[in-house]
Structure 1
């Protein structure tokens, strides 16, 4: 849809690529940086009961916004653990370590927006392959700068998940 000199992005549900995850959830890839002139990237993530969404990491450039559409999500932000239910929002600025997953015994659905955008659809596709055992997590390590996802030791996250 044309609006002056700019073009609006419209993504219908049936047009968004879906990356299935083995716990019954998946990523719905809504907008990559290339789709928005670098303004943002967005995806919708459904998580099965107690499933991890992301291990500890940080972004050097982008702020990440999470809006909980359904269920309950456990976040580790810095050293703090937070539980956020439907209708809650978490905004993580650049360089702040974070991890998240569905709360124990709960499913969850989130809208995640990264701004400014980084082309990350390839990252989400790789995560899907990793979750299905078709690729190793180590395959993402050389791509950390490309996707602005810098992984950290997961010990604090694992201990928070089992607490």
Structure 2
């Protein structure tokens, strides 16, 4: 898709694709990178109480910005855990291992912007299938380069999320 730079991009709530997740969560697919000539991509992630958002990973190319719209989110940033309440913002540079989820006892609603944008809606659809058990996590591994999502591990994160 080539973006018409003479017009603003508007995505109304009813136009966004919504992917249900367990525990009352959902992905809201708002803007994929093809709609912005790769400038950015935007999604909204709603997580149920204490639910995981993403396991430890990094992006080789993209910065990722999280705005906590509601609730409280917990982030792994490198080797540190940070708790961020509604209104907070987290900016993660390329190559920094990170993970995130709703904090214990709280839901979380996150607006997530990645720049430069990489088309990731296919990845989010695959993640939703994985969350519901329709696809194994192993099937996502070959997609890491395509979606600039490179999985890792963290003992700090695993201990915090138990």
Pick closer, same or farther for the CA change 1:7–1:98 going to 2, 3 Å: same
TM-score (norm 2): 0.95
Alignment match, 1:17: 17
TM-score (norm 1): 0.95
Q: Distance in 2 between matches of 1:96 and 1:145?
A: 16
1:100-120 CA distance string (max 9 Å, x none)? 000001001000000000000
Stretches of structure 1 that go unaligned for 5 or more consecutive residues are none
Q: Distance in 1 between matches of 2:127 and 2:153?
A: 18
Q: Distance in 1 between matches of 2:66 and 2:5?
A: 30
| Residues 49-88 of structure 1 mapped to structure 2, 5 A cutoff | 49-88=49-88
| Residues 31-46 of structure 1 mapped to structure 2, 5 A cutoff | 31-46=31-46
**CA RMSD, aligned part only?**
1.1
1:129-157 CA distance string (max 9 Å, x none)? 00001000011100000000000024331
Q: Distance in 1 between matches of 2:112 and 2:99?
A: 13
Shift of 1:8: 1.6
Stretches of structure 2 that go unaligned for 5 or more consecutive residues are none
Shift of 1:95: 0.3
| Residues 1-163 of structure 1 mapped to structure 2, 5 A cutoff | 5-162=5-162
